Amino acid sequence: MQRGAVTHRRQNLECVMQRGAVTHGRQSLECVMQGGAVTRRQSLECVMQKGAVTHGRQSQECVTQGGVVTHRRQSLECVMQGGAVSHRRQSLECVMQRGAVTSRQSLKCVM
């Protein structure tokens, strides 16, 4: 920390469960603050076996400058086998400039 501002932060969490639903999961959080500008990244990866979800990924990236969110990206990818949904993709991108919101969202599902 320099002058009361967090310049870099990393946090990692890894969880492995056997004889249950979740066999592997990873979650990481990285936060970088420079001169009042915040850059934050968060990712989640989960793999489940002997269940419905075999693979899933979720990531979120948020960038704020001067207390205003200038850019944000969020994506979700999920693959299920032995269930209904075999493939699904969802992405959301939001850009805010001067109080104006521009949002894009796409969804693709294959069953």
* 100 belongs to a structural domain: yes
Domain with 97 in it: 9-110
* 2 belongs to a structural domain: no
* 3 belongs to a structural domain: no
Q: Provide the b/e sequence for 71-98 (b: ≥16 CB within 10 Å).
A: ebbbbbbbbbeeeeeeebeeeeeeeeee
* 31 belongs to a structural domain: yes
* 23 belongs to a structural domain: yes
* 1 belongs to a structural domain: no
Structural domain tally of the chain?
Answer: 1
Q: Encode the chain (111 residues) as per-residue pLDDT tens digits.
A: 344 454 455 555 444 444 444 444 555 555 555 555 555 555 555 554 444 444 555 555 666 656 565 555 556 555 554 544 444 455 555 554 444 444 454 545 443
Model's pTM, two decimal places?
0.29
